[in-house]
Structure 1
């Protein structure tokens, strides 16, 4: 389809900061969409109909698509393709229908203001996103640029840093970047006292070194067992690391964690890459609460919780790339339902501790193939004035890839 929609990135310098292509598109447009703040930056002489974004915002997509084929302009902040409106519209329109004219992004302006090479820092956003997603980025000496949700975001981030053990982390709020009202506010997490900043701000965080007590965890599989709140239903660290190695998460893949317990497998799957997704299926109410708590603490609040018992709870869930069965392999229909749902090429991994669950996996392997390993882990523990090896229950790990 012919190009009809122009998405223009506009900064705090408004119309004066736009190039000739952007100005020509605005002049030729019959309709201009944008936030009221953006629309107010345009000269009065434009004859196009101006439409401010509706509430709820989701109504805007139908309004835009109804004008398909007409000359339409969308105004967005900075670079529309980086956490912006342009990125969202790619879900509804082909690239051939759009012309994107970006301005410098807030991140680019913030990196310049801080003197930080942008390739050396992590770019994050909590605009319309859960604040807890930041937690896994709090690591020693990390430098972060965070697109704030509003003027209270810096205070919330300071609190989260303190809770994670980074009390001396340095915070810099950069307000109204690129405009006449640009302002910088510096401080330290433990003494942060700016109750509210301008809503338009980017927060720069230099994590520095954590306190002796720190909740900073690696992104690789096998977090310490102490990282989780649990009631005993926890895949222990060494077994968890091996299990996740067999699950082999890749970016943008979806995991079903069936019989999720406290959620450790799904949580570490999601921590492996920002685009990894997981659904935790758990019937026990107390464990459901633990899953929610652990997912927030460990920086993946987007973990989806399905409250129910497999196999019934598996109906109508999005098709998984991988499935882990941590509990329920002996329950009627669970293995069959998981296998049926798994996409071709997907991986199924199941752990067994009891003889009965191991027998179920051995029988399944005879039909579907796959690999079985038995993992035994021993820990050194005191025995009188000496130490001895104490063995945990051995775990059988079954792995199979679905061919058709």
Structure 2
């Protein structure tokens, strides 16, 4: 591999080669030559162990954490280096990490079939109709939003205990009748599979290298997370301090989340707005700021229940607690409106096109929102909701507290 192309741009010096469980025998000729020509090969112990001995070639197993190897790789820039990856390096693989640090033009990538592709081929599942997830180094709760009647899931396991943990979680959430297929050592000589209902799974551990396929079947009363905002209050842990579902649905519509955006949920209470923000897209982030410890515990419990365990909780009061936080794309203020400097701080934090939504149920809060609208513009709305409740032997309308809502798109 030359260090510079004819046009003067850096030539690829880093080869990223996908390796299956069949080892070098499954490599295409180009991939094989990249491995053999490399002066240094990085990879997991298992992958390095599959390669035949090669005199003079430096082989370095991944450290923990893996990111510690990045300076070692970059120190060899311009010399032929190879990184071994599992299957497709850019599907829950090392490729994404490398691409954040090195230009794509300096890498030559030769993928192998991913575990998802191999599993779909074995089962006859169209990948475009299948949800592909990873629990490798990720919380089991992440699977909760995808448990829907009839859904097909392919899940990369963390280790041999994942199938049993997943079967138990499916059963606990009312999906015990789901068909569970564990595929071990896909593409290798030890490939094997076993299939049963989640509720009937009895093996505490399988081969460490496995992928789990789930055909979801919901039982009556299964805990299914609806796909749209405005989930019922009863689905959340809360002490009564929660944005009501009707108001929450309107607030989320005004917040208008886009993929990869960050929300500040201030005076978060139950964290319901932050949770629903994160559920709109797996790439979204949220920070819930709340000063009460018991409410922070509710927020964390809700984040786990709804499958967004990465929701960040900050104990404190805004605006002081906002110091040092990454800038938001949107802000929801559910409490603390009358705190000195809060609205000014939030307005200043918004980028162009950023959205701010604040709600109030008090005269003092309404006054603060009216003053903010007069100063910054935006839109004031008044939401009045009534719910039907038993009234003697009949049914009557019970009004909730009217909510004043101020929304703004920063210019």
Report the TM-score, using the length of structure 1 for normalisation. 0.98
Deviating above 6 A after TM superposition, structure 1's stretches of 4 or more consecutive aligned residues are: none
Q: 1:63 aligns with which of 61, 72, 90?
A: 72
Q: Hey, what's the Cα distance between the residues in 2 that align with 1:134 and 1:125?
A: 9
Specify the alignment match of 1:93 in structure 2: 102
- Are 2:15 and 1:6 aligned? yes
Specify the alignment match of 2:257 in structure 1: 249
Matched pairs, number: 402
- Are 2:118 and 1:114 aligned? no
Bigger CA drift: 101-110 or 305-314?
Answer: 305-314
Q: Hey, what's the Cα distance between the residues in 1 that align with 2:186 and 2:399?
A: 59
- Are 2:372 and 1:344 aligned? no
Tell me the C-alpha RMSD between the 2 structures: 1.0
- Are 2:198 and 1:219 aligned? no
- Are 2:258 and 1:289 aligned? no
Superposition pairs for residues 2-401 of structure 1, below 5 Å?
Answer: 2-45=11-54, 47-208=56-217, 210-401=218-409
Bigger CA drift: 102-111 or 335-344?
Answer: 335-344
Specify the alignment match of 2:4 in structure 1: none
CA 46–38 in structure 1, closer or farther in 2 if over 3 Å, else same:
farther
Q: Hey, what's the Cα distance between the residues in 1 that align with 2:316 and 2:72?
A: 38
Q: Hey, what's the Cα distance between the residues in 1 that align with 2:169 and 2:245?
A: 25
Q: Hey, what's the Cα distance between the residues in 2 that align with 1:85 and 1:223?
A: 36
8 A contact 2:327–2:350 mirrored in 1: yes
Cα shift at 1:27 = 2.2
Cα shift at 1:45 = 2.9
Report the TM-score, using the length of structure 2 for normalisation. 0.96
SS of residue matched to 1:174: strand
Bigger CA drift: 369-378 or 151-160?
Answer: 151-160
8 A contact 1:135–1:160 mirrored in 2: no
Runs of at least 5 residues in structure 2 that lack an aligned partner in the other structure: 1-9
Cα shift at 1:399 = 0.4
Q: Hey, what's the Cα distance between the residues in 1 that align with 2:333 and 2:114?
A: 43
Cα shift at 1:57 = 2.1
